[in-house]
Amino acid sequence: MDQRGPLCVGIDPHPELLAAWQLPDSAEGLARFADTVVAALADRVAVLKPQSAFFERHGSAGVAVLERVVADARSAGALVLLDVKRGDIGSTVAAYAGAYFGEGAPLRCDAITLTPYLGYESLRPALDRARADGAGAFVLARTSNPEGAATQTARTEAGVPLAQTVLDHLARENAGAEPWGSFGAVVGATAPESSLELTINGPLLAPGLGAQGATADDLTRVFGAALPQVLPSASRSVLRRGPDVDGLRAAAGREAAELARVLA
């Protein structure tokens, strides 16, 4: 982020985007889409975030594309945050973690997204595996989808919002780390203002810029004093400028310049 600016670009090959790029909705079209994004951006943006679901929908051929895309993006110098939103218990979450972390992992990446609503400690095998591999994780805390509020704003018996308990756990994971710990939270840039304590000594992934309606100015409103920790994420606002490589680079550059105005 210091070298390339605080921008994460999603690789979200929606069927509608494949069509807009005049690509077939197939593993071949998926590969051409993802390879173009990597070629355009992996040597200049801080983080690329492939959305695993849009690769998995093409079966084993799509997952094979994802394996190559993750490896190619990392080789070009981008950090890869794989958006998988895994959440399970015991040996199952450990098995998920084995796909993403450790020597020989087929989808070895720099971080994944996790969902904690089977209980934060249910994620322990994945968190420990990430730490051992020098990697990290982003745990869903306060997302911006309307359906999330019922769970995330519910209060514990002690009166603490459930999202705050997730943030508190992450602050403990990151305690003492310099300059930041490797365990972040997902807090939507379109989330309403709240009284959550967001300073977790780790990064805050802020999806929702561009097509989902959030602007750079919303980051100040949502994150307040935690603004220096924010990693904003944009997807369609950049991707719809493809398949032209220069168009993708220009769109990412515009997003980064607008973010620098707020985050500098």
CA 109 to CA 136: how far, in whole Å?
Answer: 9
Q: Do 137 and 184 form a contact (C-beta atoms < 8 A)?
A: yes
49 is catalytic: no
**CA-wise closest residue to 82 among 19, 11, 154:** 11
Between 245-263 and 216-223, two packed helices, what is the crossing angle to 10 degrees?
Answer: 40
Q: Residue 73 to residues 7, 20, 35, 250: CA-CA distances in angstroms?
A: 15, 23, 9, 19
Vertex 50: Cα angle to 107 and 168 (nearest 5): 85
Helix H or strand E encompassing 165: helix 162-173
Q: Exactly one of 85, 124, 236, 254 is catalytic; which is it?
A: 85
Q: What type of residue sits at position 151? A: T
Residues forming the active site: 85
